[in-house]
Amino acid sequence: MACGPYWTFVVKCRARERRARRDDPARDNERQVGLRVQLEGRQLGCERDERWLFQALEFSIEDGDLCRVEGPNGSGKTSLIKMLTGQLEPSEGAVLWQGKPLPKARAAFHGALVYSGHLSGVKEALTPLENLSWYQAIGIDDDARSVAARWQALDAVGLKGFEDIPVAQLSAGQRRRVGLARLHLLNRPLWILDEPFTAIDREGVAALEHLVAEHCHKGGAAIVTTHHAFSSVAFTRRIGLDGHGGHHVL
């Protein structure tokens, strides 16, 4: 028991160190830089009901890339997105994250990804603020930033003032915005957005376009499927699917 005071001292020092590390503003940038986007498709193929939607698709997405997946309805855009996020096993070929096949690199990959799909991922019985805090918790976001980050994200999607209202009472566009607040909330380099503009008003669309462009400009990467024409943004890559097994990559 003689070492009691010594141990309390050590424990206190460690706690102080940990706090200092957590509050260090440089740390976020460090993490952003530390994670580089390198997502590749190798000979990807998707078969649905004995029909090949696409085959032998080759591409790679890196830092700063803004990639658009285009094609008519039913051409396999969403299937491709699901393969890229690791939700769907490719019928042939593989998706690589930083050179490793997805199932093996799952935790690292999902720690670098924000995904927004057809489903909003928003709990209707919860308030926007409760939804956001859950995203942070399952996204392993920083403790210290969390409260401020939540409010910032709400403000950025124009939902300040609605934070305490259950999502079920909000409009369809506002519900989408709660889901899109993830983009502001989580500090992730790769965004994969499947039809992000559904139900969003004109101003919201412009803001989102701007946000995606800025994210890629800062060194992040984004993959977007949309029928909507981006007015102000140039895509660095395009993956076009024609729905009959053919594709082109630019």
Partner 1 sequence: MSSEGGHSWARAFRYTFVRDLRLRIRHGSEWGSPLIFFALIVTLFPLATTPDRTVLVTFAPGILWVAALLAVLLSLDALFREDHDDGTLEQMLLSPVPAWLLVLAKMCAHWVMAGLPLALMSPMLGLMLALPSSVFWVTALSLALGSATLILIGAIGAALTVGVRRGGLLLALMVLPLYIPVLIFGAGVVRLALDGIDVTPYLAILGAMFAAALALSPWASAAALRLAHSG
Binding site for partner 1 (CB under 8 A): 82, 85-89, 107-108, 110-111, 113, 115, 117-126, 130, 133-135, 137-140, 143, 166, 179
For residues 249 and 96, is the Cβ–Cβ distance under 8 A? no
Nearer to partner 1, 115 or 197 (CB): 115
Q: Which is nearer to partner 1, 41 or 86 (CB)?
A: 86
* Nearest to 48, CA basis, from 79, 93, 86, 70: 79
Residue 248 CB, shortest distance to partner 1, in Å, is 27
Q: What angle do CA 168, 190, 133 make, to 5 degrees?
A: 35
3-state secondary structure of 149: helix
Longest dimension (CA), the chain: 78
> Among all chains, which residue has been given the structure tokens 């855009």?
77
- Beta strands, E only, the chain: 38-48, 51-62, 66-70, 92-97, 100-101, 113-116, 190-194, 221-225, 237-241, 247-249
Q: In the complex, what is the shortest distance from the CB of residue 239 to partner 1, in angstroms, rounded to a whole number?
A: 21
Minimum Å gap between C-beta 123 and partner 1 is: 6
Q: What are phi and psi of 238, to 5 degrees?
A: -135, 135
Task: Give the residue with the Cβ less far from partner 1, 45 or 179.
Answer: 179
Q: Which is nearer to partner 1, 76 or 179 (CB)?
A: 179
Q: What are phi and psi of 84, to 5 degrees?
A: -70, -25
- 158 contacts 204 by C-beta, under 8 angstroms: yes
* Residue 24 C-beta: closest distance to partner 1, Å: 14
Conformation bin of residue 21: beta by default, left when phi > 0, alpha when psi is -120 to 50: alpha
CB of 84 to partner 1, least distance (A): 11
Nearer to partner 1, 122 or 170 (CB): 122
Which of 71/90 has CB closer to partner 1?
90
What is the closest distance, in whole angstroms, from the C-beta atom of residue 125 to partner 1 in the complex? 5
Question: Closest distance between partner 1 and the C-beta of residue 38, in Å?
Answer: 17
Cβ atoms of 115 and 192 within 8 Å: the answer is: yes
